[in-house]
Structure 1
Amino acid sequence: MPRVAIVGTGMIGAVHARAVRAVGATPAGVLGSTAERGAEVARVWDVPVAYPDFDALLADDGIDVVHLCTPNVLHAAQTEAVLRAGKHVVCEKPLATSVADAERVTALADECGLLLAVPFVYRYHPLVREIAARARQGEFGGWHLLHGSYLQDWMLPRSAASWRVDPRMGGPSRAFADIGSHWCDLVEWVAGVRFGEVVARLATTIGSRPERSAASFSRETSSSPLVPVRTEDVATLLLRTTDGVLGALTVSQVSAGRKNRLWFELDGTRGSAVFDQENPETAWLGDERGARIIVRDPGQGSAEQRRLSTLPAGHAQGYADCFTAFVADTYATLAGGKPEGLPTGADGVRSARLVEAVLRSNETLSWEAIRGNSAC
C-alpha cells in the first residue's frame, strides 16, 4: 500500500481518510488550514504527522500519494506542486476552476508519469456498473433520450453559509459544478456518449447569505453580516450528444427534503434503465413487455457489479462503499493494475469543459458547443 497524506480536514477529507483505511492503507500525514487545525485533526484521525505547512508535506519523501480535499480554487496550484514533487494525486472535483488549469495539470501528470485521479465516485455503485454493462452489450438499443436530476437541500436555509458560495473560493459555478458535473460524468460514462452542446439557465434563488471567512473557513454565526450571492442555487440544462440524442438535467441545492438525489433515466430503442442514488440497492429496467426491479447481488449480473458488491444481497451498500472502491482502484492502478472506469485527470478536464459551456450558454442564452468531444 502507498504512504498517503491528506490535505484538508473538512467533511470530504474525513471521507477520504476513512476510505484510505478501509482499503488497508494508513494516512501517514495530514495538513489542515492552520497548523493548529492540522494537529487537532491528526489526534482525532490518529495520524502520526501534522504538517505545519504545504511545503513540509511536499518535502516529505516518504509520501507516495496526496489526497487534496481543499477549497476548489486551490486545486490546480496544489495539484501542480504535488506532481512536481514527484507524488501521485487524488484531487477532489473540480480538478480546476478553469479549463486551462485543468488541461495544464493533466498534461503535467502525463509528462511526469504520475497518476492523477478525480473522485467521480458514483461510477462505483454496483448497479451503475450493471446498467453500464447492459448498455455496452446493446440491451437497451440506441438511445432516444437521456434525462434526470440531481437535487439537494443543504443550501435551502437562508442562514446556510459555505466557502462554496463565494466564486473566489468555489469558482464561478456552484450548483452545476458541484453536483451537476457528477450527473454529466455518470450519464456520459454509463451510456457511452459525449454531450456535444448545451443550452443552460442558472438562477440564484436566495440572493444573500451570511458572510463566510475566506481566511479561516470557520463556521459563521447567525450574526454574520449578509453578503450578495454570486453563484447559482439551481440550474436547468438541455443537452445534445455528438450523435444527436437529446438530454435534460435539473440541478438544485435548495429542494426541500432532497438530501442527495442523483437520478437518471436512459431511454433506448429496446429498453430503459433508471438509477436513484438515494436508493442504490435497486435499479429499474423497462421494455415493451413491462418493467422490473433488479437488486444488487454479488451472485448475479455483470462481472463489475459482482466485483463491487462487497456485501451480501440485502446488506445495504452506499456512498462510502463507492468511495472505498474508488480509492482501492486508484491504489491498484499504482501497483500496475488496470481497473475499469477509474476517473482520472482527463475526466476532470472533461468536467471543466462542461462547466465552461454551461456558464457560456447562460450568458449568451443560446446553444454552446462543449469542447473536446473525442470518442468515449
Structure 2
Amino acid sequence: MTTDVTATGLGTIRAGILGGGFMARVHRTAARDAGGELRAVATRSASSGRRAADELGAARAETDAIALITAADIDVVHICTPNATHAEFALHALESGKHVICEKPLAIRASDARRLADLAASRGRVAAVPFVYRYHPMVREARARVAQGDVGELLTLDCSYLQDWMLLDTDDDWRVRSASGGASRAFADIGSHLCDLIEFVAGQRIRSLSARTRRVFEERGGRAVDTEDIVAVLIETESGALGTLLVSQMAAGRKNALTLELHGTRQTLRFEQERPEELWIGTRDDSRLLLRDPATATPDSARLQRVPSGHPMGYQDAFNGFMADVYAAIGGAQPEGLPTFEDGFRSAVLTEAVLASAAADGRWTEVAA
C-alpha cells in the first residue's frame, strides 16, 4: 500500500472512521488538526452512516465496516465502535495493509490483543491506542521529573479515576453488558487509562495486585447488567512501591476526575486531569503549584504546548497531540511516548488480572510481564 503522509511532505493522510458517536467526533477533529483528510465513515446502518458522514464532514459513507477498511483511498482506520468489535476490525485493517488507531480496549481478551500487536509489528504498520492522558503537558512534566530523580525512590501511590455518569439505575449504555462491552466495564473503560498513566509516569510496571469489584444495580433501564460499577485495587510496583487505586462510575459530582499522586523519598507529585494546567509538588519543607509554561518546561512537555502559558489547554488538545504523533509515525518518525498496540495488550493483561483477583475474593495476583 502506498501511503500519502503529511509528516514527510508527500501529501495528506486519508482517514476512515468506524463509528459515528462522541469519540468519532474527537478523532475527526484531531485528524484534521494533524493535517489528515476524512474520506469515509461507516456505522451500523447505511442511513446512520450517511448522517455521520454529513456531521463529520466525510467525503462519503461506506455501506459497512469492511468496505471502509478495504477501500483503496484509506490509509489509516480509526476504530470507534463497541468494544467487542475492536479486535475483528483491527485484524481486518492490518491484514488490508492499513495503519490503525483503535479505541481501548484494543481487545476484550489479552490473547487477541497479543495477536494484534504481533501482526502490526510484522506488517510494519503504525498501530496506536488513544491513551491520550499521556499527552497532557503536565503529565510529561511529571514523567520527566520522576525520570531525572527529583522524586527520589518511589514509596507509595494514591490514584483514582471517578465519574458519575452511571450513578442512577436509569443510566444505561451498551458498555454495561459484556456481550458488547466485554467482561469489565469500569476498569476496562477508565481504570485502563489510570494504570497506563501510572506505569507511564512512574517508569515501572505494576507487578502484582489485589482487587475487589462491586456492581450496584443488577438492572439498568429494565435490562440485566453483568459488569462492574466500582473497582478498588491495591498494587505493588516492580520497585516495591505500594499503591491504592479507586475506579468508579458512580461518584456523584465527579465528571472525569483522573488523579495521579506519587510519593517519593524526596518529593510528591500530584496531577489532576480536571485541572490539567497544574502539577502539585510537595516536599517535607514546602509545597508549590507548578503551572504549565513552555518557556520553563522540560523538552518533552514543551513540545506538546501549542499555546503560551495562561492560555488553557485541555482534553481535545491532548487528543490532538496524540494524533499528531500517530500521523508523524506513519511518516517514519518515532515520537516519544506514543501508545501502541503493545500498550493495548498491556491494558488487557491488567484487566484480566483485576478480574481474576476479584473473582478470588481479592487474592494477590501476579501481573504477567
**TM-score with structure 1 setting the length:** 0.94
Counterparts of residues 5-20 of structure 1 (less than 5 Å): 5-20=16-31
In the alignment, structure 1 residue 204 sits paired with structure 2 residue 204? no
Structure 1 Cα separation of the partners of residues 352 and 267 of structure 2? 33
Q: CA deviation at 1:23?
A: 1.6
The Cα offsets for residues 168-190 of structure 1, whole Å up to 9 and x where unpaired, read as 00000000110011000001110
AA in 2 matched with 1:37 = S
SS at 1:338's partner residue? coil
Residue in structure 2 matched with residue 217 of structure 1 by the alignment? none
AA in 2 matched with 1:251 = V
The Cα offsets for residues 164-219 of structure 1, whole Å up to 9 and x where unpaired, read as 00100000000011001100000111010110111000001122101xxxxxxxxx
Structure 1 Cα separation of the partners of residues 223 and 165 of structure 2? 18
Counterparts of residues 105-144 of structure 1 (less than 5 Å): 105-144=116-155
AA in 2 matched with 1:325 = G
Residue in structure 2 matched with residue 334 of structure 1 by the alignment? 330
Structure 1 Cα separation of the partners of residues 218 and 101 of structure 2? 34
Q: CA deviation at 1:289?
A: 1.6
Question: What stretches of structure 1 move > 3 A for 4+ residues in a row?
Answer: none
Q: CA deviation at 1:242?
A: 2.0
Counterparts of residues 2-41 of structure 1 (less than 5 Å): 2-41=13-52
Structure 1, unpaired ranges of 5+: 211-225
Structure 2 Cα separation of the partners of residues 59 and 98 of structure 1? 25
Equivalent pair of 2:66/2:92 in contact (CA under 8 Å)? no
In the alignment, structure 1 residue 319 sits paired with structure 2 residue 330? no
Structure 1 Cα separation of the partners of residues 364 and 342 of structure 2? 24
Structure 1 Cα separation of the partners of residues 165 and 301 of structure 2? 31
Residue in structure 1 matched with residue 358 of structure 2 by the alignment? 362
Structure 2 Cα separation of the partners of residues 234 and 356 of structure 1? 16
Counterparts of residues 53-64 of structure 1 (less than 5 Å): 53-64=64-75
Residue in structure 2 matched with residue 221 of structure 1 by the alignment? none
Residue in structure 2 matched with residue 288 of structure 1 by the alignment? 284
Structure 2 Cα separation of the partners of residues 59 and 71 of structure 1? 20
Structure 2 Cα separation of the partners of residues 12 and 26 of structure 1? 17
Residue-pair matches, total: 357
Q: CA deviation at 1:161?
A: 1.0
In the alignment, structure 1 residue 255 sits paired with structure 2 residue 266? no
Residue in structure 2 matched with residue 222 of structure 1 by the alignment? none
AA in 1 matched with 2:319 = F
**TM-score with structure 2 setting the length:** 0.95
SS at 2:303's partner residue? helix
Q: CA deviation at 1:305?
A: 1.4
Residue in structure 2 matched with residue 268 of structure 1 by the alignment? 264
Structure 1 Cα separation of the partners of residues 29 and 19 of structure 2? 14
Structure 1 Cα separation of the partners of residues 330 and 357 of structure 2? 39
Q: CA deviation at 1:350?
A: 0.4
Match of 1:163 among 150, 171, 174: 174
* Paired-residue identity, %: 46
SS at 1:308's partner residue? coil
Equivalent pair of 2:69/2:77 in contact (CA under 8 Å)? no
Structure 2 Cα separation of the partners of residues 292 and 153 of structure 1? 30
Residue in structure 1 matched with residue 165 of structure 2 by the alignment? 154
Structure 2, unpaired ranges of 5+: 1-5, 7-12
AA in 2 matched with 1:367 = W
